[in-house]
Amino acid sequence: MPELLTLQDLERSGVIPSDGIIRSLYENIWESLDITLLDCLTIRDLVQISGCGRISEEDLGLLHLLLIGITSSLKEGSLCMNCSLPAMVHRMEQYNLPNASETAVRIRDKLHERHFSPLIADDPEAFLPLIYVRDKNGERLYFQLYYRHEALLREDLNRLLNKPRRRTQLSPEDAGKLLGDVLEKNPLRDPAGSPLLPDDHQKMALLLGLTSDFCIISGGPGTGKTSLVVNLLRCIARREGTVALEGIRLAAPTGRAARRLVESVLAGLRSLERRDTIDQTLLAMLDETEVPGATLHRLLGYSPGRNSFLYGPLNPLPAGVLIIDEVSMVDVIMMSRLLSAVGPNSRVILLGDRNQLPSVEAGAVLADMMPRDDRPLYSPSLIKLAGAVIPRLELEEGDPAYPFTDRVVLLARSYRSTVQILETADSINALRNIPEDRLDTSVTQIIQKLTPLDLKEFSVSVGDGTRRIGCFFAEMYPEEGKEYRDGVRRFLDVWAEEMMNVHPTEGKGGRSYWELVREVRSRSFSADQEGGWNDLLKDIFLYLQNSRILTVLKRGAGGAEGVNAYLAERIRMRDAMFREDSDLFPGEPVMITRNDYRNNLFNGDLGVILKDDSSTYRAFFPSGEGYAGFAVDRLPRYERAFAMTVHKSQGSEYGHVLILLPAEEQHPLMKRELLYTALTRARKQAVICGRRGTLFQGLMNRTERESGLGWFQGIS
């Protein structure tokens, strides 16, 4: 609850009376609530408008508890409230009610008796604010909006999963030749020119994409999802002709992720040592301005003025192949709108990582569509095909009635991070399969395996300036007379000094970040028009992409805003050059927070503020193979970006990552998924800074979002 909000505020706003059962109820559970004044006003309006205000005061108290429960469920990201008796008891216990079990039984009985029928309907077609679903799979309470979108999504999934397959049968001989031509004779190459040879799971994903109109490819960071997309498009073009690829659409929840997908695909095609006619055609199709990556809103033609979408069930999206990246970030409403717009002739490929943080809005759609035990199931025919082409890969046969048979591939091998980072991330994911009575032991073992860094001797480098490699834990223990803020600042001082003064190439010499900024200061921006100092900008961005501070919180001493403010203050003390302007200083990293399609800048894009010899400020951002400069007053909304929240970092990667935990041991944002996401942003080094108790509790807690989609699959 916000600190300024009190029970007296609720009384004055008419949410609760000044005395009686309702007043006593709120007083008893007040400290346990995590709802806002707006939530409380919504509860009041629901009660008053529905006419439930005429029921007995005791029953009215139960209704308030029920509405508080579903409001809290939505704030937790669930689509609905689980109304099974154990779940109801657990929620009442969270409110520290002395008679939690009895209260839960009474609320559930009232639901069964339709006691709140003016407000809650058990008929989905009834036009009431809340829908109570009671079937063989459980009991769930929805707000009408989320029930409708979940139902629509279920219908569209059924339509896409059950439509007649258009894809021609792929023989083992044809499959072997196709994969050999694309993957072995002319493979994609990494920046160093070495061939990118796919593993068996990636080959399986290619077979799935070739034989299915709808498939999900899930894998952690660095598992090769993007290169797989390139190879899949090449395979489709050779198998079905480039005409099958007309209307390629590449999209993602954010503009930055969408652009990165397109740039990665184009880079993959350009990496080929030789491009035949098909590859050239494919590159030309993707390089056209009509086929850029788009946000889902832009893909579907969203009109803010009309609050409507151009494409939908009555006007399907014209797409031969639809590829959506970062699907874990897509909420249930947007996924419902997206799949409803998929036409009968479209091939849909969803990419994502089920273990990352789910969407900000309600739902965990990708996780709901994935097998709970991470065991994808396949038909005998596809197993036979795979056995002929990928003989070492073991596959499990599934029930023909299971809707996601032949639809899911899990990529297992990561090519991004160090062994210790990957092993830690895998151990975190494995916690979901650990019995509750052994969970604390497993969590303790994960923490013990982290390499310790002593606060008193904190350093992220060895003596010669070379960065330590691996996964570390720097425990922030209270020192006499010291607070959490002081510990955070000590970490920040060391991190900033080492990361900004040793060149990312390590051991090869090179100027510090601040020396590079000073060199820019001595030049004119006019040289940029001739590409005269692209190498200088390249080195500056090497620093920015080499290290990042990630925070759980946005505000406070250990939040992104507090960290950015402190580092900006410290930097201004270094040199008079950084104190010339009250708002900006040269070398300040910034992050765009609002999409600007005109300038091709997107929410999450990272840039840097620089000043030339005429004291002109400009902001530079990576653009294609070079950099684009903008007058600062032309930028869309932006913020400082020495640090960013873990949520903002999704889809990005850095060489070295400092993860700042909150001060509280029991913080609601501390979840396994958040820690996994933060760790896997790092390629070489991840340093977790905080208190051991905070890390322990974060690993003990997982994100649990209720929905009906898992039950729909029949795999709950």
Give residue-wise pLDDT tens across range 608-640: 998 887 778 889 998 877 888 898 888 999 999
Q: What is residue 313's predicted lDDT score, i.e. its pLDDT?
A: 93
Structure confidence at residue 714 (pLDDT) = 46
pLDDT band at 358 (very low <50, low <70, confident <90, very high): confident
Q: Which whole number is the average pLDDT over 14-31?
A: 82
Mean pLDDT of the chain: 85
pLDDT value of residue 292: 54
Query: What integer is the mean pLDDT of 298-302?
Result: 90
Cβ–Cβ < 8 Å for 688, 450: yes
Task: Write out the H or E segment, with its range, that includes residue 295.
Answer: strand 294-295
- Torsion of Cα atoms, 434 then 435 then 437 then 440, to 10°: 20
Q: What are phi and psi of 504, to 5 degrees?
A: -55, -25
Mean pLDDT value across residues 683-694: 92
Higher pLDDT, 509 or 674: 674
pLDDT category, 480, cuts 50, 70, 90? low
> Which has the higher per-residue pLDDT, 121 or 55?
121
Distance, in Å, from the CA atom of 107 to the CA atom of 113, rounded to the nearest integer, reads 10
User: Could you give the CA distance from residue 64 to residue 286 in angstroms, rounded to a whole number?
Assistant: 54
CB 293 within 8 A of CB 210: no
Classify 451 as helix, strand or coil: strand
Q: Which residue has the higher pLDDT, 116 or 573?
A: 116
pLDDT-based confidence at residue 491 (cuts at 50, 70, 90): confident
Under a CB-based contact definition with an 8 Å cutoff, are residues 85 and 104 in contact? Answer: yes
pLDDT at 515: 84
Cβ neighbours of 158 (radius 10 Å): 12
Which one is predicted more confidently, 174 or 715?
174
Lookup: tokens for 130: 């809340």
Query: Does residue 591 carry a pLDDT above 90?
Result: yes
Q: If you average pLDDT over residues 4-23, what whole number do you get?
A: 80
The residue whose two tokens read 């990246």 is 325
| The pLDDT value given to residue 165 | 64
- Residue of 548, 512, 648 lying closest to 593 (CA atoms): 648
Check: CB of residue 214 under 8 Å from CB of residue 167.
Answer: no
- Quickly state the pLDDT bin for 464 (edges 50, 70, 90): low
The pLDDT value recorded for residue 468 is 81
What's the distance, Cα to Cα, between the start and end of the chain in Å? 34
421 pLDDT band, cuts 50/70/90, is: very high
Contact 172, 388 (CB under 8 A): yes
Which has the minimum average pLDDT: 164-178, 434-448, 670-684?
164-178
User: What's the confidence (pLDDT) of residue 693?
Assistant: 92
Question: Which pair of structure tokens corresponds to residue 662?
Answer: 């909150």
pLDDT at 715: 40
Tell the residue number behind the tokens 């001060």, with chain if given: 663
The predicted pLDDT at position 79 comes to: 92
203-230: pLDDT as tens digits: 999 999 998 889 999 988 888 888 999 9
Portion of the chain with pLDDT greater than 90, in percent: 34
Q: What whole-number distance in Å separates Cα of residue 185 and Cα of residue 455?
A: 52
How far apart are the C-alpha atoms of 102 and 109, rounded to whole Å?
A: 11
User: pLDDT tens digit string along 372-389?
Assistant: 777 888 989 899 999 999
The C-alpha atoms of residue 94 and residue 82 are separated, in whole angstroms, by 14
Q: For residue 657, how far is the Cα from the chain centroid? A: 17
Q: In this predicted structure, what is the pLDDT of residue 580?
A: 63
Q: Which residue has the tokens 């927070």?
A: 593
Q: What pLDDT was estimated at residue 587?
A: 87
Q: How many CB atoms lie within 10 A of CB 70?
A: 22
Query: Which residues fall within 8 angstroms of residue 406, CB to CB, at 6 or more apart?
Result: 208, 211, 212, 215, 377, 378, 379, 382
* Distant-in-sequence, close-in-space partners of 291: CB < 8 Å, separation ≥ 6: 248, 249, 250, 262, 285
Strand bridging mode 606-611 / 617-623: antiparallel
Per-residue pLDDT tens digits for 532-589: 577 888 889 988 888 899 999 999 889 999 999 999 888 877 766 666 666 778 888 9
pLDDT tier for residue 710 given thresholds of 50, 70 and 90: low
- Strand residue runs (E) in 560-640: 588-592, 606-611, 617-623, 626-631, 638-640
Q: What percent of the chain has pLDDT over 70?
A: 92
Encode pLDDT of 42-53 as tens digits. Answer: 888 888 887 776
Mean per-residue pLDDT, 140-147: 93
